[in-house]
């Protein structure tokens, strides 16, 4: 499956999701991946048609159980974890 859109989600769609979005973009640039749209939003916007891949913190894992393609982060500040898990999808 080709990933064309990644949505980073948090409870309100403002703080941690924006931070994770910026980190995802940094890693995609580092890996030389282009053409992938990265957005951030609240969990209420997370539906199967909203993105190809969703990224959330572990505290919100239960809220995205219904989504087929997701990355659950143990530590949203850990760039190594994020990079490792992103590489599994892109």
Assign residue 82 the CATH number of its domain.
Answer: 3.40.50.2300
**What's the pLDDT band for 61 if we cut at 50, 70, 90?**
very high
Residue 89 tokens, joined: 């999808």
Could you give the number of structural domains in the chain? 1
Domain hosting residue 12, numbered range: 5-87
What does the mean pLDDT of the chain come to?
A: 95
pTM of structure: 0.94
The percent of residues in the chain predicted with pLDDT above 90, rounded, is 92
Give 3-state DSSP helix, strand, coil % of the chain, rounded to 5: 40, 25, 40
């Amino acid at each position: 499956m080709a990933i064309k859109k990644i949505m980073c989600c948090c409870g309100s769609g403002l703080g941690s999701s924006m931070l994770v979005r910026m980190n995802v973009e940094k890693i995609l640039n580092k890996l030389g991946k282009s053409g992938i749209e990265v957005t951030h939003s609240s969990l209420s916007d997370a539906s199967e048609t909203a993105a190809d891949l969703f990224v959330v913190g572990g505290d919100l894992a239960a809220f995205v159980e219904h989504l087929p393609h997701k990355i659950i982060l143990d530590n949203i500040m850990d760039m190594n974890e994020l990079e490792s898990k992103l590489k599994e999808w892109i």
